[in-house]
Structure 1
Amino acid sequence: MKQHRFNHWSEIKYLKDMVTNPMIEVGEYSYYSGYYDNHDFEDGCVRYLWGDEKSRTLFNPIEDHGWHLDKLIIGNYVCLASGVIILMGGNHNHRPDWITVYPFAEQIESSYEPKGDTVIESDAWIGMNAMIMPGVKIGEGAIVAAGSVVAKDVPPYTIVGGNPAKEIKKRFTDSEIEMLKEMRWFDWKREQVERASPILSSSSISQLYEFYLREVLPSNPRMK
């Protein structure tokens, strides 16, 4: 029986408690809700990423081939639903600019092309069975609808959906989004987040901004 299995659909597991791969960076309170997928986060949700314990014993493309491998970077308070797939760099040996996309073993060293780090910024929500393609950046507060295939960057506080995923709407007005980007509530101290949780669980961005000016900014003026 693998570690990190889920016992019920309501159960979540914090990524900080699960991740062992050095190619994955995760923030605080981000979680994976993987009951229906029945996979571990690093062996099912994240795919084709060298650096897990088994792959490290089999080969080392950094030392063997000099490859610069892409990383997966996940911010704070990110929600990943069951069935989410994050495709990474282990299979970037299929070259569409070559005559064949077949990865001949003799050409593996020269065939690899990095896509860039895959980044899921803080407070993003990735819906059930969504697929994140390599090198994509999902902005803070963004929502990816269930079943979507995300092939390009998603702006902050934007809802996208479909295959390929396209913008459905902005979550807030442009001015409200700028306020949220300034406040970065997900980087506050945990006790400040807890005090602000009733406001965070509302639609009053102006009220949150007042809280930020009154209680957060004075304690950390560098946030401005």
Structure 2
Amino acid sequence: MLNGPHPGVLYPLPLYRKMVFLKNLITHPNIEVGDYTYYDDFDDPQNFERNVRYHFEFIGDKLIIGRFCAIASGVEFIMNGANHELTPISTFPFAIFGNGWEHINEGINIGNKYPNKGNTVIGNDVWLGYGATIMPGVHIGSGAVIGAKAVVTRDVPDYAIAGGNPARIVRKRFDDDTIERLLRIAWWNWSAETITRHLKLINSGDIEALEKAAI
């Protein structure tokens, strides 16, 4: 019995080499990606990690992406290494150039000077549209949709649609009660066999039937 593509393959569409199951491409130790999440790039999917900007291992922040996400070409993640301190008169990072300038930070907690907004977390079944930019520490809920070229500076709730620069919530895909039901169902955590068996329901609008299938 066929249960969909194997999550361990790099190219789920063998004749189309610009889409990858992203988990199987990642090499950065602080990037975590769930099964079946794909990245589609107009030029080369190897671009993905290059599009995770300012992701320095010594900072320790993570990019965490759930299962069954669709990530379009040109999506960028700006990580905490891009942050500059805003309290002083100048935002220039004098200390990194040494030659005597490093002493500017003596006796100062560097973590306080360069704010860390924490991990960037993308839920499950999220669609990130073409050229979207996700800023440091943002959490995007499961089932959310981020419009093309959006710049996401704040958290996006589950099953919300956001767009613009800075991104704003356009609307919710479902009412609050339905969203709670969908999060309880959490079909993305089902086995491949169960997902295959109920694929028509997952791809329909019949939430009641999907709830029954989840029991």
Fold match (TM-score > 0.5):
yes
CA–CA distance in 2 between the matches of 1:208 and 1:79?
Answer: 22
CA gap 1:203/1:138 in 2 versus in 1, 3 angstroms: same
Is residue 23 of structure 1 aligned with residue 25 of structure 2? no
Match of 1:46 among 43, 52, 61: 52
- 1: CA distance between counterparts of 2:166 and 2:64? 22
Q: Deviations over 1:168-194 (max 9, x none)?
A: 111112111111010111111111111
TM-score by length of 2: 0.82
Give the alignment partner of residue 71 of structure 1, picking from 62, 68, 71. Answer: 62
Cα shift readout 1:140-195 (whole Å, capped 9, x = no counterpart)? 00000001000000000000110111111111121111110101111111111111
Deviations along 1:37-91, one digit per CA (max 9) or x if unpaired, are 7752111x2111124xxxxxxxxx3xxxxx5x21100111111100101111222
RMSD across aligned positions (CA)? 2.2
- Calculate percent identity across the aligned residue pairs: 42
Structure 2 runs not aligned, ≥5 long? 1-9, 97-101
C-alpha deviation, 1:203, in angstroms: 1.3
Alpha-carbon distance in structure 2 between the residues aligned to 1:176 and 1:14: 29
**1:32 corresponds to which of 32, 39, 54:** 39
What is the DSSP-based 3-state SS (H/G/I as helix, E as strand, rest coil) of the residue aligned with 2:169? strand
What does residue 136 of structure 2 align with?
134
TM-score normalized by the length of structure 1: 0.79
- Quick one: structure 1 residues 139 and 112, their matched pair in 2 at CA, closer, same or farther if it must change by over 3 Å? same
Provide runs of 4+ in structure 1 moved above 3 Å. 7-11, 36-39
